[in-house]
Every structure is written in structure tokens, then in C-alpha cells.
A and B are shown apart, each in its own frame.
Chain A
Amino acid sequence: MIDYRAVLNRQVQELKPSGIRRFFDIANEMDNVISLSIGEPDFPTPWHVRQEGIRTLEDGKTWYSPNRGFLELREQISRFMERHYQLAYDPKTQVAVTVGGSEAIDLAVRCLINPGDEVLIPQPSFVCYEPLTRMAHGVPVIVETRQEDRFRLTAQELRGKITPQTKVLILPYPNNPTGAVMHRADLEAVAQIVRENSLMVISDEIYSELTYGDARHVSIASLDGMKERTVVINGFSKTFAMTGWRLGYAAGPEEIIAQMVKLHQYGIMCAPTTSQYAAVEALKNGEKDIAEMRRQYDMRRRLIVDSFNSMGLPCFEPEGAFYVFPCIKSTGLSSEEFCRQLLYAERVAVIPGNAFGDCGEGYVRVSYSYSLNHITEALSRIGHFLKTRQAAP
């Protein structure tokens, strides 16, 4: 008998399984569950984009692309970033196409971290940053964000965590799970600390097109002196509802991108070519799709925030992504217990906030990437759940 525990890498064995998954597995076994737990768009990929993928398959365009992605795609990415975020990147040397934003995050972390380097990770946030940092022999340092600050990263919190070992700041905004957005002034304050301490930033902007209200997304890379210190991560999953196509990208200083591409070519070769062709079409002709999806999400967002507030679960108004993060402390339940009871009593699945970091305790993540009818049904069940609890002695 092989003792696999002795064979396997110690670091990987110590990684905790994701709390998102644990809850899903329970919900999946039950019937009639109405879920507000999914973290991907409910819209299918726009038809003209799908069609372009189909067309290239019919034409037999099934070969590898260059390691860093087709030049035409990188050119379109570069134009998109210029148009939307006033960021100019050279498509030849400063952009790399990856298998989803996730691969780009992994590459950036591995290329920037030496053993023992500290990586600042604001939480609540998506679950991949900490494990990827550990696998790169970095030291994750959690920076907690709070509802009082609208879950933004504040200069004060950030300063308190900086040591001589601090190397990288991960900046996950617009944020999953809170829906928080960093405005220009918030970013200026953070950028100043980054420059003073010669840090690097990995800015995960995968939800950048899903911001609501008048202000559009601002990338930290567009601030003074920040482009040279930032790797911008973005992708097609959220912007164009293309999750399953697995396509993302990184843009940053030529020297960093070159090392990332080196890793990418050994581990991945290139991102799926069908997806790359489709993505060119998305970037060329997809602006109206973005606007329409944003409009739909925004109406649902308003409805869901309003409903939670009137149910007595105070909910800070998220300005981005497609999640709300209501506070459930008034129920006296922990996040996990709230989700468990809601699931068993009303068959509604939401994700406990502590799956996104300890400071998410007392909150739950509710996704509104669902149809309006689905959302109103789930909300009425949640309302019933709360009323029943109040009525009980």
C-alpha cells in the first residue's frame, strides 16, 4: 500500500477545500431548491459571439494559437482597455491571453512571489488568492474590510498590515462577494501607499463592466505611476457571459508579462482557439450586449437590495458585480446556521459569508444572476423564513 499522504505535496494537502463548494453539495442533494448561489451570468453568450465560434469550427480552425494568444485578439483587448479604462498597453508585449482570469491570477502570483514574500489579500473576497499564494510559497496577509467602509479597502487598514516583507497587494474590485467598488479617490489613497512601499499590485478586475450608477470602473493601473506596478487581470466570463469558454487576460509591464507567458507556455501552451476567435467578435461588436446585461442586472440589484432592507436584513448597496451581501446578525444565527436553516426550511440556497474569509461571518452572499421571476420567488421564501422565525417563541 502506498501512503499517498507521504507521497503528495505537503502544501497542497494543507489547502482547505472551498466553503462555497461544501454548501453546494448539500443543496444539490435536495429537491425543489431555488438557488441564489451561482456565481456566473444567467445570460447565455450573445448569439453573434457563439456564431463566430461555430463558424471557425466549421472552417476547421482548430490549431494552437501563439502562446500569448492571437495578435488580433490582443489588439482588440488593448483597444477595449483604452476605450473603457483609458489604459494603453502594447498588444505585442504587454498583453497575454489566458485560460480564464483565474490562470492569469495564478501566473501573476507565481511570477511575483519569492518564498516568504507577504501578499496582502483584502477579504471578504473570492477564495483563490490565499491558496495560490501558499502554493507559490508566499505568505498571505489578510486585510479585513468592513460594511462601515462599504467593504472598500481603506488606507488605514492597509498601512497597518505592511511589513518589510510585503511584496504584493491583491486588489479584487468590483468585489465578489460584497459587490463593493473602489472609486477613484479610494484608489488614490491605496496607490499612494503602494508607491511609498514599492509594492506591486495584482488587480483582479473581472467584474469591471458590471458597475452600476453613474460612475464606471476605474482601474488602479490608470493612476499616476501605477501602470508600472500593476498587473491588470480581466476576462470574458463576466463581461460577455462567456464563463465556459475559459478566456481571460493579463496586461502589465512587458518584463512581468514575458515571465508569465513563459510559465503559461510550459503549463498551458495557449488558451482555447475557438474561444479566442469568439472573443474577437465579442470585443468588436459586443458593446450593446454589455449595456443590456448591465441594465438587467441593475434592475434586479435594486429590487433585491430594497427587498432585503424591507425584510429587516440590512444590506449595503453594492455598486458592482452581481452579488448582494446582506447582514444576518439580527437573526442571532451564524452565517452557516442561517444558510442551513434557510435551505431546510424554505429550500433557498445562498452562500455563507465566511466562505469568503473570516470577516464575512454575519453575512451571506446572494447572487442576482437569475431571472426576475426566480428572484422574486426566492425573496418571498426568504421573507417567509424570517417571519416564521420572528413568530416562533
Chain B
Amino acid sequence: MDQLLSLLSENARLSTAQLAAMLNKTENEVSDQIAEYEKAGVIRGYKALVNWEKVDKNKASALIELRVSPKRDRGFDEIAGRIMQFEEVESVYLMSGGYDLAVKVHGKSMQDIAMFVMRRLSTLDSVLSTTTHFILTRYKDGGIILNPDEEKDERRSVFSD
């Protein structure tokens, strides 16, 4: 795997200078490579991983399992395309196994999400059934442990009591 991508996927705020130093490249080489990745759609964006629960206790998210009937020519693409338009929807995956689409949804509250599922998702033509799982606690998200207490450095000086 490309080391530049792996570094950026860990921390997108590393400066070009820092990346260049780490990868033993020039700053120009690094910024050209990033521009190329952006152009090719390999890098699709940069955003902060926010611990929303710290900002607003009521914020809620849910994983929703959808069973849908695929369309003759477009399979699952059409329904997936419609679901991903909703701004409440963070991610949409086509799954193997007991259901078809997994949809991750953010809302202002659990009630908000419940309304969204009832009014928006379950009413879609090809949706056969929905199962909503509310997320109770996010321990780790996007590769980041959200509760910093878990990351305490237990190492000590070689000389200590």
C-alpha cells in the first residue's frame, strides 16, 4: 500500500513538508502525488473525526439493515443511489448475508432517526423491510479510540519505583 496514502489516512493534517521528510521525497513530489490522487478520485476528501457525543448528548446514530428488491437492470444501484442522497445518511453498503443494504444514519436524537426510518426509508418503493439498531456507545471510530483514557501511556522510565 502506498505509504503516502497510509500516512494521510492516519492524519490528514500532516503538512506537505512533514510528509516529504518522512517519505524522503521533495515537497513538490508529495504535493504532485496528492494532486494526482485527488484528481483520480483515490483521495475523496479530508474531514475531522468528531466525537459528537461530547458536543451534544442527544445526538444519535444507528445502523439500519434494509432488505430491498433489486431492479431488473440496475440491481441494487438504483435504490442505493436514492438512499445516499439523504443528508442523514453517512454510509451505504451492499452486504452479503441476511440482508441487502447497511445504512449508517446520524440524527439529532433517537426520535429524529426513528422518524427518518419511518417516513423516508421504509416508504421507498423497493424497500421490503428495515431493522434499526441504535448505536449506544462508539468506542472506536475510523480507526481512532474515542475515549482518550484508554490510550494512557503506561510506560515509565527505566529507573523508577
Contacts and interface: CB of A to CB of B under 8 A. Distances in A.
B96 interface: no
B115 interface: no
A300 interface: yes
Contacts of A24: 156-157, 159-160
Nearest to B24: A302
Interface stretch (B15-23, B87-95, B101-109, B131-139): B15-23
B153 interface: yes
B155 A40 contact: yes
Interface stretch (A2-10, A31-39, A165-173, A202-210): A31-39
Contacts of B38: none
B118 to A, nearest CB: 41
B10 A20 contact: no
A299 interface: yes
Interface in A72-120: none
Interface string A17-35: 1101100110010000001
Contacts of B21: 302-303, 305-307
A28 B157 CA distance: 10
Given A35-B153, A299-B7, A376 B158 contact: no
A365 B156 CA distance: 16
B22 A300 contact: yes
Contacts of A307: 18, 21
Nearest to A128: B158
A333 to B, nearest CB: 22
Interface bracket on A: 20 to 34
Contacts of B22: 299-300, 302-303
A300 B155 CA distance: 19
B11 interface: yes
Nearest to A213: B24
A105 to B, nearest CB: 13
A21 B10 CA distance: 33
A303 B18 CA distance: 6
A372 B159 contact: no
B14 interface: yes
Contacts of B24: 302
A38 B14 contact: no
B144 to A, nearest CB: 10
Interface in B19-75: 21-24
Interface in A293-350: 299-300, 302-303, 305-307, 310
Contact of A37 (B7, B14, B17, B157): B157
Nearest to A27: B157
B7 A21 contact: no
A217 to B, nearest CB: 20
Given A299-B23, A372-B10, A372-B11, A306 B17 contact: yes
A25 B157 CA distance: 9
Contacts of B7: 299, 372
Given A299-B23, A303-B22, A20 B11 contact: no
Contact of B11 (A25, A38, A310, A373): A373
A42 B155 contact: yes
| Max chain B Cβ within 10 angstroms of own Cβ: one of A20, A40, A299 | A299
| Max chain A Cβ within 10 angstroms of own Cβ: one of B17, B21, B155, B157 | B157
A323 B7 CA distance: 21
Given A372-B11, A373-B11, A39 B158 contact: yes
A25 B158 CA distance: 12
B159 A376 contact: no
B29 to A, nearest CB: 14
Interface string A117-141: 0000000000000000000000000
Contacts of B160: 21, 24-25, 28
A18 B23 contact: no
B157 A21 contact: yes
Contacts of A300: 22
| Max chain A Cβ within 10 angstroms of own Cβ: one of B17, B24, B156, B159 | B159
Contacts of B14: 372, 376
B16 to A, nearest CB: 12
Nearest to B13: A376
B18 A20 contact: no
Contacts of A306: 17-18, 21
B133 to A, nearest CB: 30
B25 to A, nearest CB: 10
A57 B42 CA distance: 47
A168 B156 CA distance: 32
A376 B18 contact: yes
A-B pairs, top 7 by smallest CB distance, nearest first, are A306-B21, A21-B159, A24-B157, A299-B22, A303-B22, A18-B159, A38-B155
27 contacts: A17-B159, A20-B157, A20-B158, A21-B157, A21-B160, A24-B156, A24-B157, A24-B159, A28-B160, A38-B155, A38-B156, A38-B157, A39-B158, A42-B153, A42-B155, A300-B22, A302-B23, A303-B18, A303-B21, A305-B21, A306-B17, A306-B21, A307-B18, A310-B17, A373-B10, A376-B11, A376-B14
